[in-house]
Amino acid sequence: MARQQPRMESLLSCKALPIRYLVIPKCGCTFVKNLIWQLDHGESYINPPRVHERTRDFARVSQFNLSIDEVRAEEYCFVVLRDPIDRFLSLYFDKVVGDGYRKFVPLRAILRENHALEVEPASPADHTRNCHILIDWIEENLSKGNEIGRDPHWTPQHFRMETIRAFDMKVLPINGLDGHLTMLLSDVVPNIAQILEKLERYTTNSKEMKSQVLDSALKARIKDVYKRDAENYEKLRSVWREVEPKTALEIPRASRVFE
């Protein structure tokens, strides 16, 4: 069977600049989409944390009559990857015990009603227990299915690897993202550093709670469920350490990271 061609509409694009971006939820996508909105409109979105509600207003690469090879040759086509442990904790603190659950799939309700999730955890130990419930549920969801279908917020990042490879995207680690985006885009957006500095940040408290919640057993479980993502992120970090890019031209592409 012939391999399907990657879908051009899967990539967001600036309307007037050759900046293309593959969204992966819980990998800095709110921040990057707000950046693209700012570049397109010259002003911040009125409610930055809810920028996803305007997804249909973003341009798609499919609108520009470009071939796959033309997109591959561009300098500003990129994706952001994240350590799967941090991504999992962001999902938990946002969509399970944070306010993000209010406009999301009924994950929190399912975990509460069917799996004894504590919706108002009172201690780090309660959070740890909840996280074990969540990672067990995700493993079942990804392997054989359960109460609801797979959702991009918890499907592995490697599920997008065919698209990442097809367009040979530049691959940015989320740690240090401001600096990486400045390096990538400074030639096409000279004031990119100033724009990034003024963008509103949408964060959960997962970073602050990480050391309290993450015991060795939970860390091992997350790494097991997201084994390929953990391996891919370590490859990415290794290549960035080796290359030490200083310019957009030096930022490693997928073909270099995942050769």
In a domain, 222, yes or no: yes
In a domain, 245, yes or no: yes
Instruction: Summarize the confidence of residues 37-54 as an average pLDDT.
Output: 92
| Residue 2: predicted pLDDT | 42
In a domain, 3, yes or no: no
Per-residue pLDDT band at 206 (split at 50, 70, 90): confident
Are 133 and 97 in contact by the 8 Å Cβ rule? The answer is: no
| Residue 4: predicted pLDDT | 52
Percent of the chain with pLDDT over 90: 86
In a domain, 1, yes or no: no
Instruction: Summarize the confidence of residues 107-118 as an average pLDDT.
Output: 97
Q: Which two tokens stand for residue 77?
A: 């086509």
Residue closest to 206 by CA, chosen among 161, 173, 174, 159: 174
| Residue 5: predicted pLDDT | 61
Are 60 and 170 in contact by the 8 Å Cβ rule? The answer is: no
In a domain, 147, yes or no: yes
pLDDT in tens, 247-257: 999 999 999 99
| Residue 203: predicted pLDDT | 74
Helices vs. strands in the chain: H and E counts, helices first: 12, 5
In a domain, 68, yes or no: yes
Strand order in the sheet with 77-81: 59-60, 11-13, 20-22, 77-81, 170-173
Cα 123 from Cα 205, distance rounded (Å): 14
The number of distinct structural domains making up the chain is 1
In a domain, 216, yes or no: yes
pLDDT in tens, 64-90: 999 999 999 999 999 999 999 999 999
Are 141 and 154 in contact by the 8 Å Cβ rule? The answer is: yes
| Residue 136: predicted pLDDT | 98
pLDDT in tens, 123-145: 999 999 999 999 999 999 999 99
pLDDT in tens, 208-246: 889 999 999 999 999 999 999 999 999 999 999 999 999
Q: What is the pTM of this model?
A: 0.94
Q: Which two tokens stand for residue 253?
A: 């592409």
Are 79 and 21 in contact by the 8 Å Cβ rule? The answer is: yes
Residue closest to 177 by CA, chosen among 189, 192, 158, 160: 192
pLDDT in tens, 14-27: 999 999 999 999 99
Cα 219 from Cα 217, distance rounded (Å): 5
Cα 30 from Cα 185, distance rounded (Å): 18
Q: What is the span of the domain harbouring residue 63?
A: 8-257
Percent of the chain with pLDDT over 70: 98
Cα 15 from Cα 192, distance rounded (Å): 16
Are 61 and 9 in contact by the 8 Å Cβ rule? The answer is: yes
**Nearest 5 degrees, angle CA 5-CA 173-CA 156?**
55
State the amino acid at position 128 in one-letter form. T
Cα 132 from Cα 138, distance rounded (Å): 10
Cα 188 from Cα 76, distance rounded (Å): 9
Beta bridge partners of 199: none
Per-residue pLDDT band at 192 (split at 50, 70, 90): very high
| Residue 1: predicted pLDDT | 36
CATH number at residue 62: 3.40.50
In a domain, 2, yes or no: no
Cα 6 from Cα 156, distance rounded (Å): 18
Spatial neighbors of 241 by CB under 8 A, at least 6 apart, are none
Q: What is the mean pLDDT of the chain?
A: 94
